[in-house]
Amino acid sequence: MSAACGCEHESGAEVEEVERPWWRDPGLLLPIFSGVAFGAGLVLEWSGLETPALVLFWIGLLLGAYTFVPGAIRNLVTKRKLGISLLMTISAVGAVILGFVEEAAALAFLYSIAEALEDKAMDRARGGLRALLKLVPETVTVLRDGAMVEVAAKNLVVGELMLVRPGERIATDGTVRSGRSNLDTSAITGESIPVEVAPGDAVSAGAINTAGVLEVETTAAGTDNSLTTIVELVEQAQAEKGDRARIADRIARPLVPGVMVLAALVGVIGSLLGDPETWITRALVVLVAASPCALAISVPLTVVAAIGAASRFGVVIKSGAAFERLGGIRHLAVDKTGTLTRNRPEVTGVVPADGFDRERVLALAAAVEQHSTHPLAAAIAAAAADQGAPAALDVSEEAGHGIGGTVEDQRVMVGSPRWIDAGPLKAEVERLESEGQTCVLVTVDDVLAGAIGVRDELRPEVPEVVQSLRAHGVEVSMLTGDNARTARALARIAGIDDVRAELRPEDKARMVAELSAGTPTAMIGDGINDAPALAGATVGIAMGATGSDAAIESADVAFTGHDLRLIPQALQHARRGGRIINQNIVLSLAIITVLLPLAITGVLGLAAVVLVHEIAEVVVILNGLRAARTGRHASEPLERNAHAPGQLGAARSRG
């Protein structure tokens, strides 16, 4: 648990502590022991044993207060930061001064256990981000004066010539100087189809060379490349987002100094006009009356209940602040590959040339492609699995071009349109590519047999989700590193109008930041290249089941499944939780507003003030527990006018 009782999360040892079982977690055990001591004290008090009861109340008070008082004081002294924990500290001190140790113990226990439960519910794993750098090999082979030399990747400088063999990762950014191959960039960009590279093409650190030998001239140092840039962007965005306070602390900022000034004025002015002892006592009662006990307890309790309920339908929300922001989302930016699409290429079209039929073209192509590990080859082989493919002999693969073999005494070649002339099928190939399909051509004894289109298909629920979001005030944009033609073709099917393609990770991060500055924006993605955008969005959402560690670490929310209908369901759930939080805030502030004048005038003493607070706490706790309900189905529409948590009816955007 953080020093400020969950209000300021600090990484490092704290994360390891949160991940411990509850019986080994001091942040949770202290509030529990505080509650045990307080409960035992009540039993002894009811039994007439006043002194032992008082001792137990003090023990409960000190244990509970230890979880938030040191952090509140430290934040006040070192950061000049006023939070809800400071006001709770002042209230507890005021109750003790007036001799109400039992009430102070109750306050310390309730506040500490509510915050401890919230911290426990908001377990965050931070190992994935730095794991990005493991994509860079420790050593790399470079060519120096015609000789091959193995050096540490971190020592690479601009202008060196790397030798990248099949199966090896590229150590830093560079430009291909010789050789042709296919690069698996799925770990970096999320794209399922390898990229063909030839001399003059740029390549990125972390990509895997799948076929031919490449000579790559480095354009970035080993410690300053696209992967290290992603890490820096994510850490910067997380630090900026981490500075934003929770709603309880935003309310406490003006409330703490206001209450302290009011109590001082009551004590000073009253002492000048009347009995000093009476007015100093009333000033202390004012401090307790202004204590937002109900607010301090109900907000984390509601968040814990709502986060627990969300996890039951496959949505993991990592923090209370993320939950509060989630309900306010009015714009959704989505990655294409692996998010909108299945990340599983499939054959979507076969165009035979004259003299061939569809089944024959597919069978011949599958015969040779089943000997390749290329994702396009796997898709073609899978498409012909039902009809069976003939055997192929003498199979050979040429990196960056295609594959060939002998099938039934005929030489069959399958390759890219850049390698095989499309001839009379050129118009059909262009049509397939305009629809977002990747094409391969098939020849039999050097005669064109047909064209096969392969595409990573949209998830079937995407059009429904996009339509539902747009109908209820949430605009959708596609951000992708894929080419513009493919992106626009899939966007038309999905019903997305705003398409931004051929983006680098820093481009995505910049665009999401621009969107978030004007409208609360969520970003959903699953690739390493999405990590900076996820971290910089108002709310980052990771496809947790298949997403990279970096994406999951950078996000505020993770889906454990693949169904995008979780998006409207999660927004609906967060908006409902937001309304409950707003109700509790209004009730808590109304109680303070009513109690203050009654405390100042002496109509209510401390006992009556504490009683009112305790009744209010019961009411808001029961109301907060309603957030645990998850009765709405994912396909039900969002509520257009629902308010985000902490907004009190007004949309809040990130500045």
**What secondary structure letter does DSSP report for 222?**
T
Three-state SS at 541: strand
Q: Which two tokens stand for residue 97?
A: 């001064």
**Strand locations in 547-622, DSSP E?**
557-559
CA nearest neighbour of 608 among 598, 620, 617: 598
**What secondary structure letter does DSSP report for 169?**
B
φ and ψ of 388, to 5 deg: 80, 135
Angstrom distance (rounded) from CA 446 to CA 423? 12
Q: What is the DSSP string of 284-296?
A: HHHHHHT--HHHH
Q: What is the CA radius of gyration of the chain?
A: 31
CA nearest neighbour of 306 among 653, 3, 645: 645
CA nearest neighbour of 225 among 157, 162, 176: 157
Strands 147-152 and 139-144: antiparallel
**The sheet that has 181-184: what strands, in order across it?**
195-197, 181-184, 208-209
| Residue 224 a catalytic site member | no
Supply angle C-alpha 246, 38, 86, rounded to 5. Answer: 30
How big is the chain, counted in residues?
A: 655
Q: Which two tokens stand for residue 487?
A: 């992106």
The sign of the torsion formed by the CA atoms of 405, 411, 412, 417 equals: positive
Q: What is the DSSP string of 178-217?
A: E--EEEE-HHHH--SSPEEE-TT-EE-TTPEE-SS-EEEE
Q: With contact defined as beta carbons under 8 Å apart, do 497 and 156 qualify?
A: no
**Which residues are CB-neighbours of 405 under 8 A, at least 6 positions away?**
367, 368, 371, 392, 393, 394, 395, 396, 411, 412
Q: Which two tokens stand for residue 571?
A: 């927004």
Q: Which residues pair with 397 in a beta bridge?
A: 403
CB atoms within 10 A of CB 416: 16
Angstrom distance (rounded) from CA 125 to CA 112? 23
State the alpha helices, DSSP H only, in 154-225: 186-189
Q: With contact defined as beta carbons under 8 Å apart, do 199 and 471 qualify?
A: no
Q: Which two tokens stand for residue 254?
A: 């003006």
Angstrom distance (rounded) from CA 534 to CA 554? 6
What distance lies between CA 236 and its chain's CA centroid?
A: 15
Tokens 């951000």 locate to 479
Three-state SS at 13: helix
**Which residues are CB-neighbours of 404 under 8 A, at least 6 positions away?**
368, 395, 396, 397, 398, 411, 412, 413, 414, 415
CB atoms within 10 A of CB 489: 19
Q: Which two tokens stand for residue 158?
A: 């601009």
Tokens 């009809």 locate to 387
Angstrom distance (rounded) from CA 250 to CA 83? 8
Q: What is the DSSP string of 624-635?
A: HGGGG---S-TT
Name the catalytic one among 335, 526, 549, 556: 335
Active-site residues, by number, are 335
